[in-house]
Structure formats: C-alpha cells, structure tokens
Amino acid sequence: MKSLLVLSLAFFASSVLADVAQSVDIDKSFARAAIKQQRNSAAFMDITNKGSQSAVVYAKSPVANIVELHTHINDNGVMRMRKIKQIDLPAKKMVQLKPGGLHVMLLGLNRDLKPGDEIDVTLGFADGSEKSLKVPVQNMMMKMKKNMDGHKVDGSLPKLMNH
C-alpha cells in the first residue's frame, strides 16, 4: 500500500512538472546565421503561455558552449545586451523574443549556423519542465531586407493602390 502511495505521488508530481511546457506554444522561431569564427548567435521566437504565470529560467543548445537568456538595455543612450535570470511568461499572454529585445544568446559556437539549417534549442521553465524545439537558421540581412520590401529608400511608404 505504501509503495502504491509513493507511485501515485510520483505520477502526480511528474504531471504537474510537465504543466508549463505543455501549456506553452512556440511560433516564429529562428536563429541568426553565423560562422563559428563569429563565436556567437541568438535565437528568437514568440512564446504564448496558455496557462498560469511562469517563466523561462534557462535554455540550452548543443551548438553553443554557453546559452543564456538576454535582453537589451539603454545605458545612457547606448544599447547593451545583458544576461537575465528569467524571461517572465504572464498568464494567457504572448512574449516576443526578437532582435533588440529579449532573446536566447548562443555563446561560443561549436559549428557554423548556415541558412536553411535547423538547430536544437531546449527551454527550461520555472516548474522544472522543458520544451525542445527545432529552430530554423535564417540570414538576418535577408530577413531585414524582406521586412523592408515595400519601403522606399527615403523611408516613406509606397502609395496605396486605388480600386
């Protein structure tokens, strides 16, 4: 009877631990292309938390020696990256990891990250659960150019077509 109780508690604990990873959706993930000699890259994504308040407390990837959670801060007019302890995931909200903001920093690359590749990234949550991802590698310059399509060189938007 005692062993049945222990097994029941272990099963209950494991189902609770998997809660955050199961209640989080990841969309629009990508990592910045980089060659090993550049030493560093970053991964970005949209994280939607469908459950209660939580946080990403770590990330890991076999493509880097060190993986950290980062943000950018304005330090007297100079944008600087800073390591942070966690990325808060408010209940029923989406958090965007993007260039110039929150991101997963990949330090000490052990291989080239070429456009079209996929890398493994694992996010660890405050409850101990993890979510493994296949993150596509993209050329950031091409991504920026694609986002700028439709803008004129002077920064103005194109005229709307009349129907």
**DSSP one-letter string for 45-101:** EEEEE-SSSEEEEEEE-TTEEEEEEEEEEEETTEEEEEE-S-EEE-TTEEEEE-TTS
Q: Which is more confidently placed, 99 or 79?
A: 99
112-145 pLDDT, tens digit per residue, is 999 999 999 999 999 999 999 999 999 976 554 4
23-145 to CATH, choices 3.40.50.300, 2.60.40.1890, 3.90.1200.10, 1.10.150.530:
2.60.40.1890
Range with lowest mean pLDDT among 32-41, 75-84, 94-103, 137-146:
137-146
Query: Strand, helix or coil at 136?
Result: strand
Residue 71 tokens read as: 């943000």
Distance from C-alpha of 142 to C-alpha of 122, rounded to nearest angstrom = 26
Q: How far is CA 114 from CA 27, 67, 69, in A?
A: 20, 18, 22
pTM comes to 0.76
Which pLDDT does position 47 carry in this prediction? 98
- What pLDDT was estimated at residue 163? 45
Domain ranges of the chain: 23-145
